[in-house]
Structure 1
Amino acid sequence: METKKKPLFIAFSSQKGGVGKSTFTTLVASTLHYRLGYNIAVFDADFPQHSLIKMKDRDLKMIMENEALKKMAYKQFTTINKKAYPIMQHRSDSVLEAAHEFVNASVIPVDVVFFDLPGTVNTPGILKALAGMHHIFTPITADRVVMESTLVFTQLLQDVIMKKGETDIKTINLFWNQVDGRESTPLYELYNNLIKELGLSLMQSHVKNSTRFRKESEVDSKTIFRSTLMPPDERLMKACQLDLFMKEFQKIIQL
């Protein structure tokens, strides 16, 4: 009897808002699904904002109002011959069960399920949800408050949840986001050494700072960066080194 291949459960997770977890969920999911041919599903459990659900509504409206993007979307979907990946809203305390039910019921084999989770450990069920991930990726910026919050959070996952053994977590990966080339290199070296001393994993990729991470595409735009319906433009990916991040990301999760 042939059994379904189990999908990877992945979360971009952080205890600090504004570092890019929802944005990276979208960028990576869209690259894998629309450009690289994998089948992706997303669960938006980030109550109360549910930003990915709202983003998909905005993306659809933007494409319908922009002739250039409408043509791009039509060409894309007829070429890849598959639908947009689903984004489902759910509570964090039962999102794992919902994901397993979705995967088991899906006619199309799912390769990766992404989870957009709340940014606080006080949320009911959040630790259980995190323990059910196979890989966790945490964006960090060279900011003292962000670093302190992130390092405490990551050590909690590594030293408490993973050491208890009741977890599916294989890797926890910090990575630099919003890197400004004008910032002093010693600052990054200081944090890199601290991360190493704490025994935490840091990705080699540095994603450069870009206004594209914080703004929706303009109404008259002819390129796409952050979208739930289309992959990010390859030139824009290269400009902020997101292309290098994707290669390292795929290597880590062995996809």
Structure 2
Amino acid sequence: MKREHKTIFIAFSSQKGGVGKSTFTTLAASTMHYRMGYNVAVFDADFPQHSLMNMKNRDLAMVMENEVMKRKAYKQFTSINKKAYPIIRHKAEGVLEAANDFLKSSSIPVDVIFFDLPGTVNTPGILKALTGMHHIFTPITADRVVMESTLIFTQLMKDVIMKEGNTTIETINLFWSRVDGRERTPLYDIYDKLIAELGLSLMQSRIKNSSRFRKESEVNAKIIFRSTVMPPDKRLMKACKLDRFITEFLNIIKL
């Protein structure tokens, strides 16, 4: 008997803006789709800015203006023999229904749909969207305001919503982002202990701070990091330990 193909719904989610939700969505989606052979789609439900949709338009324009990148993109798309992953604009409200409609109409099996969601719990439809995920990944930084809002919300999701059972959530995973390797601070140890005491899941991978996380591809660039049309450069991934994160990420979602 043939096993039905299951599409995994994933969100990089946080109740605090500026921690890199859209960036990590792009990095994970591009690595999986362009380098690892998975078929990926993205729903950009971060209304009204729709930053991923806008990023894709800028990325395509940059490739057309940069001869080095144009050749790399041509080589990439002819070797993997598939198109860029689709980014679909939507609001948080109704996004699960829209994703399921997309899957029914897709001519290829989709392995993962990433959802880029708004960073505020007051947005209409946001809680329903989150409860429809299979896995939620939450970037955290050693900042008191970020940690307080993140831990309160994550505990709510785990101890109230998941325990009530009306959800598809399998895992909620916190991970350290923008860690300064030169910084000797006891804050990480203190927060690690607190996260464990709250019974929350913390990934082993710690992603090092890099200006690349805030920097989009430029017209004169020769290497790519954050892009919706090409995977991040392997050396840059290794330098910030994103390669280790992706390995652990795939183990968690069982791909």
TM class by smaller structure: over 0.9
Paired with 2:121 and 2:159, the residues of 1 have a C-alpha distance of 15
The offset of 1:6, in angstroms, is 1.8
Structure 1 position 234 matched with structure 2 position 234: yes
What secondary structure, in the 3-state scheme, does the structure 1 residue paired with 2:172 have?
Answer: strand
Paired with 1:253 and 1:164, the residues of 2 have a C-alpha distance of 22
Paired with 1:3 and 1:246, the residues of 2 have a C-alpha distance of 26
Query: Which runs of 5 or more structure 2 residues have no equivalent in the other structure?
Result: none
The offset of 1:183, in angstroms, is 2.0
What secondary structure, in the 3-state scheme, does the structure 2 residue paired with 1:150 have?
Answer: helix
Partner residue, 2:196: 196
Output one character per residue of 1:194-241: Cα deviation in whole Å (capped at 9) or x when no partner.
101111000000000000000112221110000000000000000000
What secondary structure, in the 3-state scheme, does the structure 2 residue paired with 1:92 have?
Answer: coil
The letter of the residue matching 1:98 is A
198-207 or 180-189, larger mean C-alpha shift? 180-189
Output one character per residue of 1:76-102: Cα deviation in whole Å (capped at 9) or x when no partner.
000000000000011111000000011
What secondary structure, in the 3-state scheme, does the structure 2 residue paired with 1:229 have?
Answer: coil
Query: Which runs of 5 or more structure 1 residues have no equivalent in the other structure?
Result: none
Partner residue, 2:206: 206
Paired with 1:161 and 1:104, the residues of 2 have a C-alpha distance of 28
Structure 1 position 85 matched with structure 2 position 85: yes
Partner residue, 1:178: 178
The letter of the residue matching 1:75 is K
Partner residue, 1:216: 216
Partner residue, 1:11: 11
Paired with 2:187 and 2:98, the residues of 1 have a C-alpha distance of 42
The offset of 1:2, in angstroms, is 5.3
Output one character per residue of 1:159-202: Cα deviation in whole Å (capped at 9) or x when no partner.
11101100000000000000001222411000100101111000
What secondary structure, in the 3-state scheme, does the structure 2 residue paired with 1:71 have?
Answer: helix
Partner residue, 1:23: 23
Spell out structure 1 runs of 4+ moving beyond 3 A. 1-4
Output one character per residue of 1:138-169: Cα deviation in whole Å (capped at 9) or x when no partner.
00000001000110110111111101100000
Paired with 1:23 and 1:234, the residues of 2 have a C-alpha distance of 16
The offset of 1:4, in angstroms, is 4.2
Partner residue, 1:145: 145
Task: Judge conservation of contact 1:180–1:208 (CA < 8 Å) in 2.
Answer: yes
Task: Judge conservation of contact 1:4–1:109 (CA < 8 Å) in 2.
Answer: no
The letter of the residue matching 1:232 is P
Paired with 1:15 and 1:236, the residues of 2 have a C-alpha distance of 28
Paired with 1:157 and 1:183, the residues of 2 have a C-alpha distance of 31
Partner residue, 2:95: 95
The offset of 1:3, in angstroms, is 6.6
Paired with 1:14 and 1:79, the residues of 2 have a C-alpha distance of 36
Output one character per residue of 1:23-71: Cα deviation in whole Å (capped at 9) or x when no partner.
0000000000000000000000001111000000000011011000000
What TM-score do you get using the length of structure 2 for normalisation? 0.98
The letter of the residue matching 2:178 is Q
Aligned residues: 255
The letter of the residue matching 2:192 is N
What do you get for the CA RMSD once the two structures are aligned? Answer: 1.0
What secondary structure, in the 3-state scheme, does the structure 2 residue paired with 1:123 have?
Answer: coil
The letter of the residue matching 2:19 is V
Paired with 1:219 and 1:249, the residues of 2 have a C-alpha distance of 31
Paired with 2:224 and 2:30, the residues of 1 have a C-alpha distance of 11
Paired with 2:137 and 2:225, the residues of 1 have a C-alpha distance of 20
The letter of the residue matching 2:53 is I
Partner residue, 2:47: 47
